[in-house]
Amino acid sequence: MKKTFIGVTALALLISSSVLAKDNAPWLKSETTYNFVFGTAVRDTSWYLAWEGTIEGDVNGVMRWWVDVSESIPIDDGFVGRWEVLDCEPVVYPPINCPLEAATVIMAGYTAGASFNFVDGIAEYSGKGIVTFVSALYPEYDKWFGRRITEGGWFYFDSGGPTYGEGAFMIFDRPSNKH
């Protein structure tokens, strides 16, 4: 009887947690693909568009990463950047049909990271940061404001610099003390 009660209780918890999982998920998780387009757009003379691509999963659209060149951080030491998820239709790159002036930023934030393991023309990277903006037009993402993010992946690196890459992007349901 005791084993049956424990089994039924465990099953009930499992079912109720799967029903509530969408609203109470411990993270938002998406996959990214991107091409490097360094310098094709500039903001405030120190933020350069570094790469852009698609993001698909729990959040969908186009993702852009901006790097702060005012810091003059060598690539071996890492990067400081700003990421943005825009409400454009994810399409095969290139080109992404998402002009900056026509898109709405769903959410955005800052990240810091490092590239490492340059082996046979492939580099791995990882970054961590926080969500610092969520658009009022997308209230379904409100709860992710101030939450921690992690990202990582790989990219091809040839004599001309970085080219194409893929990775993962996650927002954790844990507040940050840095916003």
User: pLDDT (tens digit, 0 to 9) for every residue of the chain, 179 residues total?
Assistant: 444 434 433 333 333 333 334 456 688 899 988 888 887 778 777 788 888 888 999 998 889 888 887 765 555 566 788 999 998 876 655 555 666 667 889 999 998 887 667 788 888 888 899 999 999 999 999 999 999 999 999 988 877 778 889 999 999 987 765 54
Contact 27, 173 (CB under 8 A): yes
pTM for this entry: 0.75
**Distance of CA 116 to CAs 49, 77, 127, 167, Å?**
21, 9, 11, 14
Instruction: Report the relative pairing of strands 105-119 and 161-175 from DSSP bridges.
Output: unpaired
Question: For the chain, how many helices (H) and strands (E)?
Answer: 1, 9
